[in-house]
């Protein structure tokens, strides 16, 4: 136990876990921003420039026969900051945009232009090439010669050249050259770096506050519920003040309240069961001890009648212990059901006759008059135990006429056996509880005519393992009827 408690103390609480997850999510988001805005920004910039150049080349090529081609070229060049030049097959100028700073195609020699035109793929695809472009010539700056933080030198500019073959409006072939300048992003990266640092600090502070607030709000009802649940073992549970803030927590608290109520009921019924069984055990033990002492101490008391009483009470004790063992085995599932066809009518009739012989000396009467013999698919021994227990219960609580009725009916492939008494009946508020484990009627304790008082619990377990329907019908002052239904074996019914 101490090891378990030590392990629980070493585990993080839900509040810390929620804060940790939220902070980790914020850190991951900031890391992604840093990756895409700082590390990969230059690559994205080059990729975007390349796509702009390809798209412009495709648009010009598709509109090479348009009368307003020059207007289109000027629009594309201004919008995307690119240079465009359209040549015929003799490399004479057809249309061109204005020259931009460091434009490569406007500064090419005729020989270089011819070379690149010749390199254009025959299939009409675009040839892309990247060149370094020399900017204004300035001498290098030595930061050691100046005061203050001297910015680093800007990297060299680059020019991206695109060349492809096109078809002009008159059907002749031609060449399309496009060029854009890729400017170093040093200043932009510096701005983004400062911006990202500020964003990261603000996001970290905001995430910490949000994580603390959310973790506190989310964890509070869980922690309170956990504290309240510590009293559950004693059958007590009071929902915490914040246990209703979330649907799942409200449902959990309702479940715990129900569990506490059930635990208190089970504890109470267990105490009652122990008291009832103790009563049933004490009575035969007292009689056995009393008659044995009388036979030992008083001459002539060792009569066959007194010995028979001791034998009967010993048999009752054996029966009680056997039923307790059966009850335990059925509850743990260690007793399998052996299903096989058998004559239920004959089995019930045999049991009724046997019990009638045992109780007729006390004035009890059992009546069973079936219309036909019916075969069912069930465990004959266990179903017989069900009938015995229902009869014992009916005999214990039947009315002044001491009569018990057993009936049989067949409907929709189910054979229904009902055992009715003429006793006081069961109040309506107790009917839903009658099958509960350890339950016993509020009526003052009576010694069972046969059986141990555990009959209904055993009946319920056996019938549920068969998957059989069962129930109870009762009216105060009119008696009670317990019934169950077994599956009828096919083509097994015969007239009695």
Beta bridge partners of 248: none
156 pLDDT exceeds 70? no
Domain ranges of the chain: 2-37+196-229, 67-132+157-184, 247-320, 338-495
pLDDT at 7: 45
Going by pLDDT thresholds of 50, 70 and 90, the confidence category of residue 376 is very high
Topology of 247-320 in CATH?
Answer: Helix Hairpins (1.10.287)
Q: What would the DSSP string read from start to end of 250-319?
A: HHHHHHHHHHHHHHHHHHHHHHHHHHHHHHHHHHHHHHHHHHHHHHHHSTT---HHHHHHHHHHHHHHHH
Sequence-distant contacts of 62-69: CB under 8 A, at least 24 apart: 64/166, 64/167, 64/168, 64/169, 64/174, 64/176, 65/167, 65/168, 65/169, 66/169, 69/95, 69/169
Span of 137-141, 185-189, 224-228, 467-471 with lowest mean pLDDT: 137-141
Which letter does DSSP use for residue 361 in this model?
G
Higher pLDDT residue, 270 or 424?
424
For residues 167 and 155, give the distance between their C-alpha atoms in angstroms, rounded to a whole number: 39
Helices (H) and strands (E) in the chain — how many of each? Answer: 11, 14
pLDDT at 475: 87
366 pLDDT exceeds 90? yes
Tens-place pLDDT, residues 415-438: 999 999 999 988 888 887 777 655
CA distances from 461 to 273, 333, 343, 405, 483 (A): 17, 9, 22, 23, 14
For residues 111 and 107, give the distance between their C-alpha atoms in angstroms, rounded to a whole number: 11
Same fold, 67-132+157-184 and 338-495: no
Triad 472, 477, 478: Cα angle to 5°: 55
Going by pLDDT thresholds of 50, 70 and 90, the confidence category of residue 9 is very low
Handedness of CA 387, 388, 393, 397 (dihedral sign): positive
pLDDT at 98: 85
SS3 8: helix
495 pLDDT exceeds 70? no
- Count of C-beta atoms within a 10 Å radius of residue 4: 8
Tens-place pLDDT, residues 456-491: 778 888 888 888 999 999 988 889 999 999 988 874
pLDDT at 436: 61
Q: What is the mean pLDDT of the chain?
A: 79
12 pLDDT exceeds 80? no
pLDDT at 477: 86
Handedness of CA 479, 442, 464, 259 (dihedral sign): positive
Handedness of CA 76, 77, 83, 87 (dihedral sign): positive
Tens-place pLDDT, residues 387-396: 988 998 898 8
For residues 305 and 485, give the distance between their C-alpha atoms in angstroms, rounded to a whole number: 42
pLDDT at 415: 94
Percent of the chain residues topping a pLDDT of 90: 18
- Count of C-beta atoms within a 10 Å radius of residue 76: 19
Percent of the chain residues topping a pLDDT of 70: 76
pLDDT at 234: 63
Q: Which residues contact 42 (CB under 8 A, 6 or more apart)?
A: 185, 189
Q: Which residues contact 94 (CB under 8 A, 6 or more apart)?
A: 86, 87, 88, 168, 174
Handedness of CA 374, 377, 381, 382 (dihedral sign): negative
Tens-place pLDDT, residues 197-252: 888 788 778 877 877 777 777 777 777 777 777 777 666 666 676 656 667 777 77
On whether the 338-495 domain is CATH 3.30.565.10, my answer is: yes
445 pLDDT exceeds 70? no
SS3 345: helix
pLDDT at 150: 54
**Highest mean pLDDT out of 137-141, 180-184, 221-225, 357-361:** 357-361
pTM over 0.75, yes/no: no
Going by pLDDT thresholds of 50, 70 and 90, the confidence category of residue 138 is low
Looking at domain 67-132+157-184, its CATH architecture is 2-Layer Sandwich (3.30)
pLDDT at 313: 76
């Amino acid at each position: 136990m101490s090891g378990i408690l030590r392990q629980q103390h070493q585990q993080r609480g839900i509040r810390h876990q929620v804060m940790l997850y939220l902070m980790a999510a914020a850190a991951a988001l900031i890391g992604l921003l840093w990756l895409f805005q700082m590390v990969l920004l230059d690559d994205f910039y080059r990729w975007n420039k390349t796509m702009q150049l390809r798209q412009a080349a495709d648009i010009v090529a598709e509109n090479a026969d348009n009368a307003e081609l020059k207007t289109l070229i000027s629009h594309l060049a201004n919008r995307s900051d690119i240079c465009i030049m359209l040549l015929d097959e003799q490399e004479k100028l057809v249309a061109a945009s204005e020259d931009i700073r460091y434009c490569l195609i406007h500064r090419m020699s005729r020989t270089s232009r011819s070379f690149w035109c010749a390199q254009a793929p025959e299939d009409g695809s675009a040839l892309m090439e990247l060149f370094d472009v020399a900017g204004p010539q300035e001498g290098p700056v030595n930061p050691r010669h100046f005061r203050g933080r001297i910015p680093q030198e800007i990297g060299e500019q680059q020019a991206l050249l695109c060349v492809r073959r096109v078809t002009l409006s008159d059907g002749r072939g031609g060449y399309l050259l496009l060029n854009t300048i890729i400017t170093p992003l040093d200043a932009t990266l510096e701005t983004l770096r400062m911006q990202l640092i500020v964003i990261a600090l603000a996001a970290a502070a905001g995430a910490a506050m949000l994580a603390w607030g959310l973790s506190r709000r989310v964890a509070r009802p869980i922690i309170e519920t956990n504290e309240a649940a510590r009293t559950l073992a004693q059958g007590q549970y009071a929902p915490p003040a914040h246990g209703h803030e979330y649907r799942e927590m409200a449902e959990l608290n309702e479940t715990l309240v129900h569990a506490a109520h059930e635990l208190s009921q089970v504890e109470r019924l267990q105490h009652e069961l122990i008291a009832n069984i103790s009563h049933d055990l004490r009575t035969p033990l007292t009689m056995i001890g009393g008659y044995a002492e009388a036979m030992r101490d008083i001459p002539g008391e060792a009569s066959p009648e007194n010995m028979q009483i001791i034998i009967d009470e010993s048999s009752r004790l054996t029966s009680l212990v056997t039923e307790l063992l059966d009850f335990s085995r059925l509850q743990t599932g260690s007793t399998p059901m052996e299903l096989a066809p058998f004559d239920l009518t004959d089995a019930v009739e045999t049991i009724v006759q046997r019990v009638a012989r045992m109780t007729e000396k006390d004035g009890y009467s059992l009546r069973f008059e079936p219309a036909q013999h019916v075969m069912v698919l069930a465990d004959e021994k266990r179903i017989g135990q069900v009938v015995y227990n229902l009869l014992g219960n009916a005999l214990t609580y039947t009315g002044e006429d001491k009569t018990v009725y057993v009936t049989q009916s067949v409907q929709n492939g189910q054979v229904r056996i009902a055992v009715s008494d003429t006793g006081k009946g069961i109040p309506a508020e107790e009917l839903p509880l009658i099958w509960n484990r350890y339950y016993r009627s509020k009526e003052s304790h009576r010694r069972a005519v046969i059986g141990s008082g555990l009959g209904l619990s055993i009946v319920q377990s056996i019938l549920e393992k068969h998957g059989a329907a069962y129930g109870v019908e009762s009216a105060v002052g009119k008696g009670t009827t317990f019934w169950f239904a077994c599956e009828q074996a096919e083509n097994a019914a015969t007239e009695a």
